[in-house]
Chains A and B, each alone.
Chain A
Amino acid sequence: MDILQNLALGFSIALTPTNLAYCFFGVLAGTLIGVLPGIGPATGIAVLLPIAFTMNPTTSLITMAGIYYGAMYGGSTTSILMNVPGESASVMTCLDGYQMARQGRAGPALGISAIASFVAGTVGAVGLMLLAPPLTILALGFGPPEYFMLMLFGLTTLAGIAGDSMLKALISGGLGLVLGTVGTDTPSGYLRFTYGIPDLSTGISFVAVTVGLFALSEVLVNSERLLQREPIRTSLAGLYPSRADLRRCRGAFARGSLIGFVVGVLPGAGATIASFLAYAAEKRASKHPEAFGAGAIEGVAAPEAANNAAAMGAMVPMLSLGIPGSGTTAIMLGALIMWGLRPGPLLFEKNPDLVWAVIASMYIGNVMLLILNLPLVGIWASMLRVRYSILAPLILVFCFIGVYSIDNSMFDVWIMVAAGVLGYIMRKFRYPVAPLVLALVLGPMVETALAQSLTMSQGNAAIFFTRRTALTIFILMVLFVLSPVVRWALARRRGATASSRASV
């Protein structure tokens, strides 16, 4: 009952003309960001931060969330028409989407992708609405030791999953923590690593680092070569999938939504992994697995449902626990902190209007996206002809505006440039950048929670292991860290058993 009342409150705020307009702007910008190769949702949100800071926090969060899930919708267009994922979560959509386009079925592929995104987005919004409040109630009993363990868990999971090397992800996270130690030490008020530079006393600008790492480094990487790919020339007629298509995709909608949401809730897992898992699950469940990769419509529906549901799922830990589940939600979390809001259980208590308005806006945004994506798909497809060399200068200008306007500081702009170079090097040598941003956001919070916990215990570190919830989180963290070793040992054992059977 409480949920319905809160949702009604959320709708009353989300349906105001201003919020509706910004929700529309967010999903429109998100779709565009998703459509254009070379710009991901994290980059999009980072460069649009200055516009977000001119609004109140509720309107701003509605806009940022719209960009996030809008990009998931838009990402499928390039996958289907160009075989180039608009963002990493759309990689799996390429496999069957592009094959469908080559067979002259681009219309139904785009149509089913929009419908899958709508279904999963709505399922995800319901999931967020049902799951976040109980988590919040649980988290209300958390003290500094539990928060310390939770944030450590958040850092560990992202480090463990991001990229293809756990070691490099840990190093990336470590560098983020190092950057987080620059400036005033929150518990003591002592200045660290500032070397007499006044601009560093408030710490290294989170926005500058984020824009540099995501947006500027992306421009640098893409500027190395001429990015020009022609979309496949095919008819977009017959956009609406047939009844038979829809019947075939019912299971894909359900499985994709469920897998996507669950994976999205896990800190660090994210939309990309969700779409991989959903595709694999759909192939396994299919009576015709051989059709996957050759233009199976379920192969489009499942990953598209999963990446949208995951975007919604990633909002659960961010809003209810204050733990970002992905690079994009880390940026959103950082923005909330800059407004002086503390994401986490207290946000539901103190700012229910903000949280519920954002949740309500997701229902509205999903309807807007369905309307935007089905009839206007021809316009989105034509956007694909815009060359990256035209977009890059515009992105650079937005990067500058985004960073400069926060504090009118050229120092921050040069920090962005340095972060851009660092991001370029990291991308080239396969270091994931998301853990660095997450660690930069969480680092000072982790340190404060550690100081508060040890103050509570008079310096006794046993406090982290004598409190049931903190210990449970610690055990989960250890299991997570050890899971690759366990998987490797199991695979080895299976391999040994198989070879011994073969020799018999």
Chain B
Amino acid sequence: MIRRADQIGGVLLFVFAILYTLEARKLPSRGMNALFFGQGSPGPNFMPYWLGITLAVLALALIVSGTLRPFAPGGEEERLPGVAGWTRMAVVFGTLALYLLVLPVLGFSLGTLALLTTLLLFPDRHPILIVLGLPIGTTLLLHWLFLRVLHVPLPTNVLGF
């Protein structure tokens, strides 16, 4: 599994490194730099260009090492989750993404209340006391701590919380 992953990862990294190098070549080689430093100093393209080439070499090394590694069946499969694992992770990630999308509308306090309640119901269900108490308590505490005491600016809804 890791062997194949190294080969695929190496190819993806190689493509990225080449694209990055090509983009780096578009940057000025000295240009504005000469205004601030002598002609000898490298321009804005120097480090990205050489970095891209180095990454491409490392990507090739990854492909080679992945290809030369002896195949060990079943050795690494457990590192990737099964369907249940993917589902659990998708629930957590999806809830987080939704939370971030609705945050500017719902505001920090309401949004956080919704996020915590959802994640205490799915993917693992907790006792009702925790599902109800923890989100309310945590939201009130965070609202007081960050908005009132520490004056950390957090998104608010039209009602101001």
Contacts and interface: CB of A to CB of B under 8 A. Distances in A.
Interface of A: 50-51, 54, 167-168, 170-171, 174-175, 177-178, 181, 185, 187-190, 192-193, 216, 219-220, 223-226, 387, 389-390, 392-394, 396-397, 400-401, 404-405, 408, 410, 413-414, 417, 428-430, 446-447, 450-452, 454-455, 457-460
A54 B6 CA distance: 43
B96 A417 contact: yes
Interface string B91-110: 11100110110011000000
A149 B13 CA distance: 27
Contact of B42 (A175, A181, A216, A450): A450
A181 B154 CA distance: 29
B88 to A, nearest CB: 5
Nearest to A405: B152
A429 B2 contact: yes
A198 to B, nearest CB: 18
B125 to A, nearest CB: 9
Contacts of B89: 220, 223-224
A389 B47 contact: no
Given A171-B13, A223-B89, A450-B47, A396 B54 contact: no
Given A171-B62, A393-B119, A458 B39 contact: yes
Given A54-B152, A167-B58, 6 more contacts: A175-B55, A193-B48, A219-B92, A392-B119, A396-B119, A450-B46
B154 A401 contact: yes
A408 B153 contact: yes
B40 A188 contact: no
A175 B62 CA distance: 14
The 5 closest A-B pairs by CB, nearest first: A459-B40, A224-B85, A393-B119, A458-B40, A185-B44
A223 B152 contact: no
21 contacts: A50-B146, A167-B65, A170-B58, A171-B59, A174-B58, A181-B47, A185-B44, A188-B33, A188-B43, A188-B44, A189-B32, A193-B23, A220-B92, A394-B116, A404-B154, A405-B152, A410-B104, A417-B96, A452-B37, A458-B38, A460-B40
A145 to B, nearest CB: 13
Contacts of A414: 100
A447 B43 CA distance: 10
A218 to B, nearest CB: 12
Nearest to B149: A54
A401 B142 contact: yes
Contact of A174 (B51, B86, B130, B142): B51
B80 interface: yes
A28 to B, nearest CB: 16
Given A50-B146, A190-B32, A387 B41 contact: no
B92 A392 contact: yes
Majority DSSP secondary structure for residues of B touching A: helix
Interface of B: 2, 5-6, 9, 13, 20, 23, 27-28, 31-33, 36-44, 46-48, 51, 54-55, 58-59, 61-62, 65, 79-81, 85-86, 88-89, 91-93, 96-97, 99-100, 103-104, 112, 115-116, 119-120, 123-124, 126, 130, 134, 138, 142, 146, 150-155
Given A174-B58, A393-B119, A451 B152 contact: no
A373 B85 CA distance: 36
A451 B119 contact: no
A410 B62 contact: no
B112 to A, nearest CB: 6
A63 B61 CA distance: 42
Contacts of A458: 38-40
Given A188-B44, A192-B48, A171 B88 contact: no
A220 B100 contact: no
Nearest to B47: A447
B41 A451 contact: yes
B96 to A, nearest CB: 6
B134 A451 contact: no
Contacts of A394: 116, 138
B88 A223 contact: yes
B33 A220 contact: no
B146 A390 contact: no
B146 A401 contact: yes
A393 B48 contact: no
Given A390-B126, A417-B100, A187 B41 contact: yes
Nearest to A228: B124
B2 A430 contact: yes
A417 B95 CA distance: 12
B67 to A, nearest CB: 13
A447 B41 CA distance: 11
Contacts of A223: 88-89, 91-92, 123
Query: Which of A167, A446, A457 has the largest number of chain B CB atoms within 10 A?
Result: A167
A170 B142 CA distance: 39
A62 to B, nearest CB: 17
Contacts of A171: 13, 55, 58-59, 62
A167 B40 contact: no
A22 to B, nearest CB: 13
Query: Which of B37, B47, B96, B99 has the largest number of chain A CB atoms within 10 A?
Result: B47
B93 A220 contact: yes
Contact of A451 (B13, B33, B124, B138): B33
A302 to B, nearest CB: 31
Query: Which of B37, B79, B80 has the largest number of chain A CB atoms within 10 A?
Result: B37
Nearest to A393: B119
A190 to B, nearest CB: 4
A389 B126 CA distance: 9
